[in-house]
């Protein structure tokens, strides 16, 4: 069945064309009201938006078939990411489509501040010719302090270095090597506040960065500093900034974003040393086209190939990786499900070990699949998108281990999952054969070669004569047909395991009868 995409905001016609060219059904409904959107959202696999559509938890309750939300732009403030994650919906943005545009707007705002261009324009058009009033400053040799030196911040740094400015940057995620590569000096925030002639913000809006330029922080800045914010409203305490501007401690501010948008009133609007624009950072023809094309390509790749790019709530999977990862994702989920169905006590930790060639792959989606499999018997609503978050909330420790060589010499790649529960630790390992099908190759350190089937029975038993015959008779008496029968043991006469695929679910009464076989220590029915 062909996947369907709804575009509910204004996007370039080129985006519609991409969806159609890729073989997807697409409905272009910009401006659709929220009641109608809620009524039809269940019909779609994908939702492409800009900033007008508000994807709330209430709306998502109706989105039973929705798999991906694509935001043509960087910010996802209009999407309830937590609610989407809980439902297993991928949320994508387009962080690179408007990077240059936003960076250029920040540079333009710096020049506007430095030379008082908006004020001079108004004065001149009023016929005043106040040449001596608008004394500016040069950008040359000034120190630019960038708060948040990621994609956009690094472009601003590059442009500023071209203007022969000195650039310092505060960003906890900026490595010393990356700082050298882009030509900036990595500093702590207090050092930046003390040294910068101009401060430009390019950090996401989080609880950590909210009011990063507070009254206290502004008091630490150099007298005469100029401040530019083309990132997100709420990074600056606007009331504190207004006071600092009135006192002259801050010489000027240029803001493209505000705490409340649309910004119809602000204590900053009446101040002559403030330049304001209505969130124009991404407002160029090129950027609008770029983000529309990018979101269409990303959503199409996900719906058609399983590739995940620029997701804010799941690890990326490239289009090239997706075909190779898909069978290992299935293996990790089923292997985890096997262990989860055997586990009754609370889970304390999950360790996923990757050996051989699989260790060289992008394993984060595999780990998410393994967690999902382990936890689903206890938490039916868990999915690959929310698995890591849910396990963290439950206090479950997650560990990944990679080994270049496999301890199972017969296999190029092995995935092993260890589930540490309060009663005991359980582990199993599997691989993907050349036919692309996942197999279990190790259960409790006993070698196996078992395919997964929709209905299975797991038995742990004593390795004694008569078990196979008794087990087969019980199944036959109940009219249950055996599809595959796999046996393994640690040593002659020791512990043994039996994994059987059957053609129909095993009933409670049949399971109890299996448990009465003298050699049986434990029996569990499984479903995959």
The CA distance from 485 to 457, in Å, is 10
Q: What is the 3-state secondary structure (H, E, C) of 484-511?
A: EEEEEECCCCCEEEEEEEECCCCCHHHH
User: Is 119:134 a contact under the CB 8 Å cutoff?
Assistant: yes
Q: Which helix H or strand E contains 20, and what residues bound it?
A: helix 13-21
- How buried is residue 365: exposed, middle or buried, by Cβ count under 10 Å (0-12/13-18/19+)? buried
Q: What is the 3-state secondary structure (H, E, C) of 233-297?
A: CCCECHHHHHHHHHHCCEEEEEECCCCCCCCCCCCCCCCCCEEECCCCCCCCHHHHHHHHHHHHH
The CA distance from 146 to 153, in Å, is 7
User: Is 193:212 a contact under the CB 8 Å cutoff?
Assistant: no
279 is catalytic: yes
The CA distance from 254 to 256, in Å, is 7
Active-site choice (232, 351, 376, 439): 232
Residue with tokens 């996007």: 11
Q: What angle do CA 441, 443, 449 make, to 5 degrees?
A: 30
Active-site choice (261, 286, 399, 404): 261
232 is catalytic: yes
SS3 41: helix
Active-site choice (22, 50, 71, 279): 279
Residue with tokens 């493209």: 256
Instruction: Please list the active-site residues.
Output: 232, 261, 279
């Amino acid at each position: 069945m062909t996947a369907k995409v709804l575009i509910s905001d204004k996007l370039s016609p080129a985006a519609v064309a991409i969806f159609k060219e890729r073989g997807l059904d697409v409905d272009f409904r910009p401006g659709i009201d929220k009641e109608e959107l809620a009524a039809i959202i269940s019909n779609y696999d994908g939702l492409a938006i800009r900033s007008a559509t508000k994807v709330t938890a209430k709306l998502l309750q109706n989105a039973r078939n929705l798999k991906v939300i694509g935001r043509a732009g960087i910010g996802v403030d209009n999407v309830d990411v937590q609610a989407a994650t809980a439902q297993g919906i991928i949320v994508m943005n387009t962080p690179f489509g408007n990077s240059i545009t936003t960076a250029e707007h920040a540079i333009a705002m710096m020049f506007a501040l430095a030379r008082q261009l908006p004020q001079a324009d108004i004065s001149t058009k009023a016929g005043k010719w106040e040449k001596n009033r608008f004394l500016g400053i040069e950008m040359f040799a000034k120190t630019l302090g960038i708060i948040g030196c990621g994609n956009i911040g690094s472009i601003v740094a590059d442009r500023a270095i071209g203007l022969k400015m000195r650039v310092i940057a505060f960003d906890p995620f900026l490595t010393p090597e990356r700082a050298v590569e882009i030509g900036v000096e990595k500093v702590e925030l207090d050092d930046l506040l003390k040294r910068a002639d101009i401060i430009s913000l390019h950090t996401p809006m989080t609880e950590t960065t909210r009011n990063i330029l507070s009254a206290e922080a502004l008091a630490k800045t150099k007298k005469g500093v100029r401040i530019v914010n083309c990132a997100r409203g709420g990074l600056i305490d606007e009331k504190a900034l207004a006071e600092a501007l009135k006192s002259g401690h801050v010489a000027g501010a240029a803001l493209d974003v505000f705490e409340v948008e649309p910004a119809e009133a602000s204590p900053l609007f009446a101040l002559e040393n403030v330049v304001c624009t209505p969130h124009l950072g991404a407002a160029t023809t090129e950027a609008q086209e770029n983000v529309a094309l990018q979101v269409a390509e990303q959503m199409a790749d996900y719906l058609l190939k399983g590739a995940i790019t620029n997701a804010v709530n799941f690890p990326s999977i490239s289009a090239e990786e997706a075909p190779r990862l898909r069978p290992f994702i299935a293996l990790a989920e089923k292997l985890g499900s096997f262990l989860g169905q055997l586990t009754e006590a609370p889970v304390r930790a999950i360790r996923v070990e990757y050996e051989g060639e699989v260790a060289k792959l992008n394993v984060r989606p595999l780990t998410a699949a393994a967690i999902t499999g382990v936890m689903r018997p206890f938490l039916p609503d868990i999915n690959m998108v929310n698995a890591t978050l849910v396990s963290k909330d439950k206090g479950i420790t997650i560990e990944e281990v990679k080994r270049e060589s496999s301890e199972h010499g017969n296999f190029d790649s092995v995935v092993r999952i260890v589930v540490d529960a309060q009663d005991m630790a359980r582990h199993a390992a599997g691989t993907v054969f050349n036919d692309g099908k996942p197999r279990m190759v190790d259960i409790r350190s006993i070698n196996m070669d078992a395919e997964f089937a929709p209905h299975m029975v797991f038995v742990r038993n004593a390795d004694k004569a008569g078990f196979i015959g008794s087990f087969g008779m019980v199944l036959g008496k109940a009219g249950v047909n055996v599809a595959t029968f796999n046996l393994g043991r640690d040593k002659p006469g020791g512990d043994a395991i039996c994994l059987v695929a059957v053609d129909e679910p095993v009933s409670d009464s049949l399971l109890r009868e299996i448990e009465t076989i003298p050699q049986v220590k434990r029996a569990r029915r499984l479903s995959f």
